Structure 1
Amino acid sequence: MSKPLIVITGASSGIGAATARLLSAQGHPLLLLARRLERLEELALPETLCRKVDVTDREALREAVREAEERFGPADAIVNNAGAMLLGRIADQDSEEWDRMIDLNVKGVLYGVRAVLPGMLARGAGTVINVSSVAGRKTFPNHTAYVGTKFAVHAMSENLREEVASSGVRVITIAPGAVETELLSHTTDERIKEDYQAWKEAAGGALDPQVVAEAVVYAYRQPPEVTIREIVLAATGQQG
């Protein structure tokens, strides 16, 4: 029996790419979305549709899901992984960075959910997996706007779960601590980046994206009557 379609946003690197490899190896057709199409195609995964989509573009995201479902059948899950971490002090951080994080980390998640949820509700089955952060549960220095977006992901996920649980749709939040990804490179304040890197090294390093991908897949592969509502994971040496 063939496996159902899974949609992954932010799949060009880090957690998204690791999750794509793992789910593909288990036989799932995939829709991979990211702004860097060439990185998606370099994964060279079978039964995979790659599309250059910024998740802040809700129509492009919706159209990509429609195209993938026409090819592979209904989407059984979405992994809303696309996001940005732009650290800074509110007093002097460029407010455009706040806009980018709100658009990507909050609206992008909502757009991803909206693209697949009506079909899931109609079928009475499906899984929404939102990749958040430990920063969606507690605060960190110079993280104010970022933390706000990740607290929003946690809150939206829990409220969505309450809305759809009786319809057989599962909602899962994955909240990793520091992960070895490209996220930090997008921060423009060099001092904050240096401090973050030092903090990470003091904790003995960050999580490998593969570990987070395995948590995603573990939660997804539970029986449909079981929802692991949240997984919080971090390097053992990370205190915060």
Structure 2
Amino acid sequence: MNDRRILITGCASGIGRDLSRTLVAAGQRVMATDLDPERLAETAAGWSSARTRVRRLDVTDPEQWQDAIEAAEEAFGGLDVLVNVAGALVPGWSHELSDAAVDLQIDVNLKGVVHGTRAVTPGMMARGGGQVINVASLAALAPVSGLAVYCATKYAVRGYSLSVAMELRAHGIAVTVVCPDAVQTPMLDVQRDVEAAAMTFSGPRVLTAHEVSEAIVRAMDERPLEVLLPPSRGWLAKLADLAPLSGRVLEPVLRWQGRRRQRG
């Protein structure tokens, strides 16, 4: 892949950790960010300071976004790619979630993506191009009971990504939304013992963080509008979304299947 200057969020674990390590190993210039500085330091252990930067970033804070973008542009002479990976998930029935749990998921998953995209856009416009990659979920394509608020935020991320892609295309800026199925990350671990989250485990297998990282790296070269992982489950989700009433038939079966896999 070409030499790129990349800022990634959510690098303390999961997809963000694997992606940042993959890109650094490939010789890319990377600013890895996260809210948790200690675990972020673990991610970056052994990196060369000449081509990498590590920075604490609260994606819900627009001012911190501005500071992070400015720091990356100063360190690397600009930014070619922003990858919004940071996410939050609190499983459970919607009416039982606390107000704080609702706000957390909306603020991190949706507002964090919007703040980051808006912050990086002016510099990319001035340089004549760039790319924003937003990690959503297959929960952005079809309803998922037990994860209603999370699902709503991912629907919104996908809608925002597709819409802002239209706005920025004329400026040479590509926007890609990546929609993976369940991924083996700490976010999955918090759902394993929660019965309401059984739908998460309804697929034939769980993706690895590296599989998602590889798809994101390919997206940097190909610049697609949307990536579904795996494609078969993605198109199944899209079909289900075309006929919402089908969920009444499919949901009990998928929930039973997911519950079996949770227990296993």
- Normalised to the residue count of structure 2, the TM-score between the two structures is 0.81
TM-aligned CA deviation for residue 91 of structure 1:
2.1
Q: CA 1:67/1:191 → structure 2, altered by over 3 Å: closer, same or farther?
A: same
Please tell me whether residue 183 in structure 1 is matched to residue 187 in structure 2. Answer: yes
- Structure 1 gaps, min length 5: none
TM-aligned CA deviation for residue 136 of structure 1:
0.4
- In structure 2, the residue matched to 1:17 is 17
Quick one: distance in 1 between partners of 2:175 and 2:231?
A: 24
Quick one: distance in 2 between partners of 1:26 and 1:167?
A: 28
Work out the percentage of aligned pairs sharing the same amino acid.
36
Structure with max Cα Rg: 2
- Structure 2 gaps, min length 5: 238-264
TM-aligned CA deviation for residue 191 of structure 1:
3.3
TM-aligned CA deviation for residue 92 of structure 1:
1.7
Counterpart contact for 1:204–1:237, Cα < 8 Å: no
Quick one: distance in 1 between partners of 2:170 and 2:115?
A: 22
Counterpart contact for 1:207–1:235, Cα < 8 Å: no
Quick one: distance in 2 between partners of 1:99 and 1:186?
A: 18
Quick one: distance in 1 between partners of 2:53 and 2:63?
A: 17
Structure whose residues are more often helix by fraction: 2
Counterpart contact for 2:94–2:149, Cα < 8 Å: yes
TM-aligned CA deviation for residue 35 of structure 1:
1.3
TM-aligned CA deviation for residue 188 of structure 1:
11
- In structure 2, the residue matched to 1:233 is 229
Q: Which amino acid aligns with 2:188?
A: L
TM-aligned CA deviation for residue 75 of structure 1:
0.6
Please tell me whether residue 148 in structure 1 is matched to residue 144 in structure 2. Answer: no
Quick one: distance in 1 between partners of 2:192 and 2:104?
A: 13
Three-state SS of the structure 2 residue aligned to 1:146 is: helix
Equivalent pairs counted in the alignment come to: 231
TM-aligned CA deviation for residue 83 of structure 1:
0.7
Please tell me whether residue 220 in structure 1 is matched to residue 216 in structure 2. Answer: no
Quick one: distance in 2 between partners of 1:203 and 1:169?
A: 34
Counterpart contact for 1:180–1:209, Cα < 8 Å: yes
Please tell me whether residue 79 in structure 1 is matched to residue 83 in structure 2. Answer: yes
Q: Which amino acid aligns with 2:217?
A: V
* CA offset digits 1:33-54 (Å, max 9, x no partner): 1111122222322222111111
Counterpart contact for 1:179–1:209, Cα < 8 Å: yes
